[in-house]
Every structure is written in structure tokens, then in C-alpha cells.
Chains A and B, each alone.
Chain A
Amino acid sequence: MPFRKFLGWFKGFFGKKKIIRLGLYGPPNAGKTTLANKISMDWTGEPVGKVSEVPHETREVQKKEKVTVKVGGKTIVMNLLDMPGISTKIDFEEFLQYGFSAEDAKQRAKEATKGVIEAIKWLENVDTALVIMDSTRDPYTQVNITIIGNLEARNIPIIIVANKIDLPESNTKWIEEAFPQHPVINVSGLTGSNVNDLYSAIAKYSK
């Protein structure tokens, strides 16, 4: 038994509850921070970060520590890690469309590139991952495939979140068909719809 696993078992056996590092991954604008805020508000009464329609609003990993979730007679304690969106491209000109000055747009793009690198580095340091996908968009993208492939290579439990089910064009079947090897939970981070199913899944699949 590897030492880390043994340590986890030992702590669990003697009653010290393990803190799960729960990483929220996905492309920009999938609704990661909205969902992180929903989870955090439900259990701590405080949000994790600011939400915006501008891509790459989250440019550093945002944490909410020791969030205690009680579900189905089980209590889990987790550190919520809201990751910057992972992308293969960042064009400062895109930010100009949202009214940023050229200088601010370039600065935001620079920060966003660092955020993507930080999110990738964190792939090695989460215990369970929520991969958030916008259920109104084609899920079979290289970014989603790369995130899931890297988590699978590290044997990290993955729960796919089909987000934005409150929108009429939501198509969760698309996601289930693209990634049949992982549990898919349909939620709306915005309205909180089905979020209890997500808590049950976190309790069931986390390690």
C-alpha cells in the first residue's frame, strides 16, 4: 500500500476526517465559479469568487477551505478549488469587445495565460475533480478531452457536471454520449437545480 494511501487509511481509522481537495475544472465560461459559489453559499454562507460574462474572469485558483457537506448520513469536508478556465488560445483583442482598454486587455490576457498554467499544474494536486461543461455547447472538445485524459492518467475520480440545464438549448445527452465512462450529473449552478444530486455524487465517488 503506497504511503499516502496508508496515511489516509490510518487517519480515517482513528477518526480524523480527511479533507478532500475538490477541483472544479473546465473551459472558460462553463459556469465553474457560479457552481463553486452555489456550493460554498449552501454550506458556508460565503461565495468563492466573482462571476462575469467576460471569459477568464477567474485568473487565479480561488479556494474555500473546510467546506463541510452533509449528505445521506455522510459528512464530507472539502477544500473547494475553483480553477481558472483551461484554453488553448487567449487573444487580448477578445477583451476589447467587452470595453477594456488595449492596455487592460493585454494585462488581462497575460494574467489569463498564467491562470491556465496554474490550473494545469494543480491537476496533480486534487483528490476529486468536477469537470464542468456547458450543456448548451458541443462537449467533445480537445480541452475537455485533455482535462479528462490527464485526470484519468492520475486515477483521480471524475464527476462530469452538465451545467446550465436551466437554458432551453441545454442538451445533457450530448455530454453523456461523449463521456460514457464517467458519471454525469445535470445541474444548474445558477438556479441550484439538482445540486443535491451533485452532493450525493461527490460523497459517493470521492476518495
Chain B
Amino acid sequence: MKNPLMNNIELEFISSDILDDKKGEDKMKYILDRIRENKILVMEESLSSTEEAKLIEETMRSISEKFSGIEVSTLREKSDSGIREKLIKLLGGRTGGLTVIGPSKLIKQIKKEPKRISVWAERKME
């Protein structure tokens, strides 16, 4: 029987508590595994620049005829260059932020502004 939701787009909101337990490659694998299931993820944290580069690397290793990559955008809620923010990070805290990420086959466009992300997504009828 055909799944009535198969042509819909699934958004998944992920708490930072889940991501806190995952570091390095585990975190990238967790993200990419979910994206390959055709989900758009909204994560309650911003990725660091190093994590963004790592994510692009891992995405490139995953590219196939069926998976053409990702669209990603990060909002850093607070500047992470201030003394207060550095201190929060040093103590293991979070300075906020948000990441939207999904398969490039679904996300037609991401428009980023310093404090806002707009996403246009479309699923082709199967």
C-alpha cells in the first residue's frame, strides 16, 4: 500500500541534548544518516566552522547517483568571539544558535541573513 505521506517533507527538530553526546565523526554520521532518509533537520545549535568543513568533507564522501549532497545554513545567535561567550564555552556551556540542514534534492534554496534563514523545499511527486 502506498504511504499517504510519501510525497510530504519531513522536518525533524533536534534538541542540543542529543547532539551533546555526539562528537566528531559520530555527530557527522548521525546528521548525514538522517538527511539520507530525506529529512530536513533543524538543530538547536550552531555548528562550528571546523564542524561545517568536516560535514562538507563527509558529505563529499557520501555522494552517489542517489544522494547529491546537502544544503546547510547556520545561525550563530551570539558572537562567539566575546569574552563572555569564550568563558561559557570554556565551562562547557552553549552560546545558542541554530542549524538548518537537508538533502539538496529537497531544498531548492536557502537564503541566509545574519539573524534569519529562509528555506524553500519541494518534493517531486513520485
Binding site for B on A (CB under 8 A): 86-93, 106, 109, 113-114, 116-117, 120, 123, 138, 140-142, 145-146, 149-150, 152-153
Contacts and interface: CB of A to CB of B under 8 A. Distances in A.
Interface of B: 48-50, 52-53, 56-57, 59-61, 63, 65, 68-74, 104, 110-114
Contacts of A113: 60-61, 63
B53 A88 contact: no
B65 A90 contact: no
Q: Which secondary structure dominates where chain A touches chain B?
A: helix
A138 B52 CA distance: 20
Nearest to B52: A146
A123 B71 CA distance: 21
17 contacts: A86-B56, A87-B69, A88-B56, A88-B71, A89-B63, A90-B68, A90-B69, A91-B68, A109-B63, A113-B61, A117-B60, A120-B56, A140-B114, A142-B71, A142-B73, A150-B49, A153-B50
Contact of A120 (B48, B53, B113, B114): B53
A117 B52 contact: no
